[in-house]
Chain A
Amino acid sequence: MSDEYEHKLEAKSDYTGDASSVSTPDIDAVPDAELPDQELYHSHSWWTTYVFSQDAKYIGIQYALTAIGTGLLGLVLSWLMRIQLAWPGLGWLEPSSYYQFVTMHGMIMVVYLLTALFLGGFGNLLIPLMCGARDMAFPYVNMLSYWAFVVAVVVLLASFFVPGGPTGAGWTLYPPQAITAGTPGYNGGIILMLISLILFVAGFTMGGLNYIITVLQLRARGMTLMRLPLTIWGIFTATVLAMFAFPALLVGCLMMTLDSLLGTSFFMPAMVSLGETLTHEGGSPILFQHLFWFFGHPEVYIVALPAFGIVSDLLSVHSRKTIFGYRMMVWAIVGIGALSFFVWAHHMYVSGMNPWFGFFFATTTLIIAVPTAIKVYNWILTLWRGNIVLSLPMLFSLGFIVTFLNGGLTGLFLGNVTVDVPLSDTYFVVAHFHMVMGIAPILVVFGAIYHWYPLVTGRMMNETLGKVHFWITFIGSYAIYFPMHYQGFVGVPRRYFEIYDSPYIDVSTLLLNKFITIAVLIVGAAQLLFLYNLFASARLGKKAEKNPWKANSLEWQTPQMPPEHGNWGKELPKVYRWPYDFSVPGAKEDYIPQTQPPSEIIGAKVEKT
């Protein structure tokens, strides 16, 4: 940092200088706890321990497994879609099934997999442990949150079994087509989808309340907000975004449910359907689009911010280096969160809007690239001259940086109205958002699972299998999405279940479609390796030592690993530093855990960032 900082550091000889002046144990002293210890709920039976558990760690695992299970269905749907696109001559899918699969794939991946996994899964597992709390603030509400999510998933899946099948309106569920005859599932599936989303929002609000209050109020002594790992900053900010963004989805869903069930006209204009004049009149479909994207854009960051936070911690731990520019990283997370509420209409450039309106949203969209770019620079500078260990979490984190950068750059193109208009609704858009909020966060999810697996099971995941999984996933996803950019440029529209013999469709498109599909099948199959690794390692994996990655943050400093009920034994931890003291010159080890008191590391000189 600045010279001024260096002078200050030298002036402080009591901590950084010679040992003789600091040998008094007083430097470890912290004031007595003023706040009472949290009262814990103790389970009495098998049911309350393993099923209706109120322990945040269990709820986190339950959330994660449910989300991954649902996500697998999304993966299989993408296989089916791709086979149809590559070999349309097979007559593999009906057009209606194709649309239904597109819709369910999108909604499952965005909401039921990524949101639930990052906030419900990692949030529940990591927030109490990383903050140094015994559990969430309201454990009972936390349990309700998970079960509301389960019911939401069940209702969503039930839509496969109602007459007409699930909705085929696209994951954006735009009215009027979503609830008008001609769209698959217009009177059955869509209702279940809307109800499922309403349940999800209700469940999430209960969970989000817990995450916010726990992070704000239940931290360990000495754990200030600016000493929190960036993982927590990411999850916390994403939760705040979700608390403000999900109401918009709720409003849209409620009003569309009424339009469909009661025949009101919130969103439905006067229209003729199948030769008959419908009873609706005057409704505004654009209003729904605004509501949806007022939720939908922050939703991108609800998924991305936890990924940003987690990847920052993974990079720091696995390159044995302080995160570069911690404060800037926090500000970037908060800044991106705030800005994300002012960019939503860039999803609606082709819906028709005042040019000044489009100008405003194009500008805000480009501005949000600034904090995002700061984060990318900081990740790279964290790696700069670090002691990089190419462990599995590190590989996935590196994969994330490249992929996120890639997807972010195409975002700059699409954020401009004039560039977006010709590219809108082509495969370029599909490639962009899969790179930036599909592959990139998923790579972080994998990295995070490999990283925190020993914390959950006490065993390590298999390294070789993991590396095979990484390389197939990483290279495979580029094999899938790079060609899609090209297809978008030559004008192949998205959402078409078959590319007919049009003069503008080149033979290369058809060949690429086959190539992409083969890549999809291989990448998808590679996930089976991961699943095998995930479940088999719980039994067969190498026993993990305590704190296997030599990390500083609190979750690895519990008396038992995996942590038991109540996390911390008798005494709550005391925190003496931030979690990024890696490779401190003069220290015995290359890491100083947050709980290590100053008297034990005399002579260590904290590195400036």
Chain B
Amino acid sequence: MSKKKSIFQLLTEKPWEQDQIEADNDHQGQTVNLSKQKLGLRTLMAASTVLFSLFIVAYSDRMLVHDWRNMPEPWLLWFNTGILVISSLVFHQTVKYAKNDLFDKTKNGLYFIGFLAYSFLIGQLIVWYQLMNTGFYATSNVANAFFYLFTTIHGLHIIGGIYFWGKTTSKFIKRSLKKEEINNLIDICAVYWHFLLAVWLVLFGLMLSS
């Protein structure tokens, strides 16, 4: 594997010079030493970060207008945040189990993570229900609209995560992949879970602080 190079080193190579030609002929065709799934996830997380950042910018801009009225934060949101934190911790542990070949513990960990993810979604829906029952509709104030929008987009990301969690779990249980491959997939799901926790903490913090 070729040595790691910074982007500036890469871009200043002179591909027509003899030294460089000889070095380049040894190149294996990969830019970074990561599986394509892992790099793919990072690309998607980057795009997703831009998406959420733009939502936050829009939120901050719209907040300054006089008609903004803050929304209450139901205690259930704290509970849901807790669920998300726990699921991230469990995932962290599960990755370790998977690396150490502890099949049953990994399996239980994966099941528990799925349970927590569904609980989080149900919890968010209950929050919606409570808020709507107390008259906080999306139309009544734009702060509410932002809340519904943020929770929806974040929830859709979670649903996407659940889809890949389901595929990974079923592959894990069927043992249809090599150990490194399945560990790679579990690892990727874990990273995504941590990412969604981070996104939620930022969004929740933003809504709390305003």
Q: Decide yes or no: A216 and B16 within 8 Å by CB, A254-B149, A287-B61, A287-B62 being known contacts.
A: no
Q: What residues of B have a CB within 8 angstroms of the CB of A248 in the complex?
A: 50, 54
**A8 to B22 CA separation, bound complex (whole angstroms):** 14
Q: What residues of A have a CB within 8 angstroms of the CB of B40 in the complex?
A: 137-138, 209, 213
B18 touching A282 by the CB < 8 A rule?
no
Q: What residues of B have a CB within 8 angstroms of the CB of A12 in the complex?
A: 18
**A283 to B50 CA separation, bound complex (whole angstroms):** 22
Against A, the Cβ 8 Å flags (1 = close, 0 = not) of B16-44 are 11100100111111111010100110011
**A209 to B27 CA separation, bound complex (whole angstroms):** 23
B10 touching A225 by the CB < 8 A rule?
yes
A255 touching B58 by the CB < 8 A rule?
yes
Q: Decide yes or no: A222 and B27 within 8 Å by CB, A281-B67, A282-B66, A327-B11 being known contacts.
A: yes
- Which of B11, B24, B44, B65 gathers most chain A CB within 10 Å? B24
**A606 to B72 CA separation, bound complex (whole angstroms):** 71
Whether A386 is near chain B, meaning CB under 8 Å from some CB there, is: no
Residue of B nearest to A322 (CB): B16
**A69 to B188 CA separation, bound complex (whole angstroms):** 39
Q: What residues of A have a CB within 8 angstroms of the CB of B204 in the complex?
A: none
Residue of A nearest to B66 (CB): A282
Among candidates A213, A226, A575, residue contacting B11 with C-beta atoms closer than 8 Å: A226
Whether B51 is near chain A, meaning CB under 8 Å from some CB there, is: yes
List the one stretch of A263-271, A309-317, A501-509, A538-546 in contact with chain B: A263-271
A132 touching B25 by the CB < 8 A rule?
no
Among candidates B16, B65, B138, residue contacting A606 with C-beta atoms closer than 8 Å: B16
A217 touching B142 by the CB < 8 A rule?
no
**A262 to B24 CA separation, bound complex (whole angstroms):** 57
**A118 to B1 CA separation, bound complex (whole angstroms):** 33
**A353 to B193 CA separation, bound complex (whole angstroms):** 41
- Which of A223, A225, A258 gathers most chain B CB within 10 Å? A225
B47 touching A243 by the CB < 8 A rule?
yes
Residue of B nearest to A214 (CB): B36
Q: What residues of B have a CB within 8 angstroms of the CB of A227 in the complex?
A: 15, 24
Q: What residues of A have a CB within 8 angstroms of the CB of B48 in the complex?
A: 247
Q: Decide yes or no: A224 and B15 within 8 Å by CB, A33-B28, A219-B30, A291-B54 being known contacts.
A: yes
**A209 to B45 CA separation, bound complex (whole angstroms):** 11
Whether B139 is near chain A, meaning CB under 8 Å from some CB there, is: yes
Among candidates B21, B30, B43, B62, residue contacting A576 with C-beta atoms closer than 8 Å: B21
B21 touching A220 by the CB < 8 A rule?
no
Whether B13 is near chain A, meaning CB under 8 Å from some CB there, is: yes
Against B, the Cβ 8 Å flags (1 = close, 0 = not) of A241-252 are 001101110110
A258 touching B145 by the CB < 8 A rule?
yes
Q: What residues of B have a CB within 8 angstroms of the CB of A265 in the complex?
A: 67, 142, 145
For the complex formed, measure the closest distance between the CB of B64 and the CB atoms of chain A, giving whole angstroms. Answer: 9
For the complex formed, measure the closest distance between the CB of A33 and the CB atoms of chain B, giving whole angstroms. Answer: 7
Whether B12 is near chain A, meaning CB under 8 Å from some CB there, is: yes
Q: What residues of B have a CB within 8 angstroms of the CB of A326 in the complex?
A: 15-16
Among candidates A16, A30, A138, residue contacting B25 with C-beta atoms closer than 8 Å: A30
B27 touching A266 by the CB < 8 A rule?
no
**A223 to B55 CA separation, bound complex (whole angstroms):** 39
Q: What residues of B have a CB within 8 angstroms of the CB of A9 in the complex?
A: 17-18
Q: Decide yes or no: A264 and B142 within 8 Å by CB, A283-B62, A291-B58 being known contacts.
A: yes
For the complex formed, measure the closest distance between the CB of B24 and the CB atoms of chain A, giving whole angstroms. Answer: 5
For the complex formed, measure the closest distance between the CB of A604 and the CB atoms of chain B, giving whole angstroms. Answer: 12
For the complex formed, measure the closest distance between the CB of B86 and the CB atoms of chain A, giving whole angstroms. Answer: 30
A216 touching B39 by the CB < 8 A rule?
yes
Whether A577 is near chain B, meaning CB under 8 Å from some CB there, is: yes
Q: What residues of A have a CB within 8 angstroms of the CB of B55 in the complex?
A: 251
Against B, the Cβ 8 Å flags (1 = close, 0 = not) of A128-164 are 0000100001100000000000000000000000000
Q: Decide yes or no: A31 and B26 within 8 Å by CB, A205-B47, A226-B15, A258-B138 being known contacts.
A: yes
**A258 to B46 CA separation, bound complex (whole angstroms):** 25
Against B, the Cβ 8 Å flags (1 = close, 0 = not) of A15-33 are 1100000000000001101
B32 touching A217 by the CB < 8 A rule?
yes
A334 touching B15 by the CB < 8 A rule?
no
**A31 to B2 CA separation, bound complex (whole angstroms):** 11
A209 touching B142 by the CB < 8 A rule?
no
Among candidates B34, B50, B145, B153, residue contacting A264 with C-beta atoms closer than 8 Å: B145
A217 touching B139 by the CB < 8 A rule?
no
Whether A212 is near chain B, meaning CB under 8 Å from some CB there, is: yes
Q: Decide yes or no: A282 and B67 within 8 Å by CB, A218-B36, A219-B29, A255-B149 being known contacts.
A: yes
For the complex formed, measure the closest distance between the CB of A290 and the CB atoms of chain B, giving whole angstroms. Answer: 8
**A327 to B13 CA separation, bound complex (whole angstroms):** 8
A221 touching B142 by the CB < 8 A rule?
no
Q: What residues of B have a CB within 8 angstroms of the CB of A244 in the complex?
A: 46-47, 50
For the complex formed, measure the closest distance between the CB of B116 and the CB atoms of chain A, giving whole angstroms. Answer: 27
Whether A274 is near chain B, meaning CB under 8 Å from some CB there, is: no
Residue of B nearest to A572 (CB): B29
For the complex formed, measure the closest distance between the CB of A37 and the CB atoms of chain B, giving whole angstroms. Answer: 11
Whether B14 is near chain A, meaning CB under 8 Å from some CB there, is: yes
Among candidates A216, A247, A291, residue contacting B47 with C-beta atoms closer than 8 Å: A247
Q: Decide yes or no: A222 and B138 within 8 Å by CB, A209-B44, A284-B61, A287-B62 being known contacts.
A: no
**A209 to B46 CA separation, bound complex (whole angstroms):** 11
Q: What residues of B have a CB within 8 angstroms of the CB of A205 in the complex?
A: 44, 47
**A162 to B208 CA separation, bound complex (whole angstroms):** 42
Q: Decide yes or no: A222 and B142 within 8 Å by CB, A209-B44, A247-B47, A251-B58 being known contacts.
A: no
A247 touching B43 by the CB < 8 A rule?
no
Whether B68 is near chain A, meaning CB under 8 Å from some CB there, is: yes
CB-CB nearest 5 A-B residue pairs: A282-B67, A247-B51, A264-B145, A219-B29, A12-B18
4 additional contacts, CB 8 Å, given A224-B15, A225-B11?
Answer: A14-B18, A262-B145, A265-B142, A578-B15
A-B contact pairs, 9 of them (CB 8 A): A223-B29, A224-B15, A227-B15, A248-B50, A255-B149, A262-B138, A282-B62, A282-B68, A287-B58
